[in-house]
Structure 1
Amino acid sequence: MKFISLHSRGGNYLVVAQNVAWLRAAENGQTQVGMVGSSPLLVSGEIDDVAASILAQANAAV
């Protein structure tokens, strides 16, 4: 199980990379991250930046 860090204006999240289901652009330069079995998270950053961060962290060597 690989945890990734997602940054939010209200705090930071550690989520299981495999549980990320979708991304959707939100207002004010934020992105909604859909989670399997949960409500979406609102994180800081444009959708392209968040996607790149998720991929980089998920593929990083342990």
Structure 2
Amino acid sequence: MKFISLKSRGGNYLVVAENVAWLRDYENGQTQVGMVGGAPLLVAGKIDEIAASILEQANAAE
């Protein structure tokens, strides 16, 4: 199980990388991150930046 960090305007999240289901562009430079079995998270950053961050963190050596 690999945790990744997602930054939000209201605080930061640590989520299990395997639980990220989808990304959706949102307003004001934010992105919705869909979670398996839960409500989407609203995080700061454009969809391309968030996708790159998730992949980088998920593929990083432990």
Structure 1 runs of 4+ aligned residues shifted over 6 Å read none
Instruction: Give the secondary-structure state (helix, strand or coil) at the position aligned to 2:18.
Output: helix
Letter in 2 for 1:50: I
Number of equivalenced pairs: 62
Deviations 1:3-61 (A, max 9, x none): 00000000000000000000000000000000000000000000000000000000000
Q: Identity percentage over the alignment? A: 81
Instruction: Within 5 Å, give how 1:9-28 maps onto structure 2.
Output: 9-28=9-28
Partner of 1:50: 50
- How well do the aligned residues superpose, as a CA RMSD in angstroms? 0.1
TM-score for the superposition, normalised by structure 1:
1.00
- Stretches of structure 2 lacking an aligned partner (at least 5 in a row): none
TM-score for the superposition, normalised by structure 2:
1.00
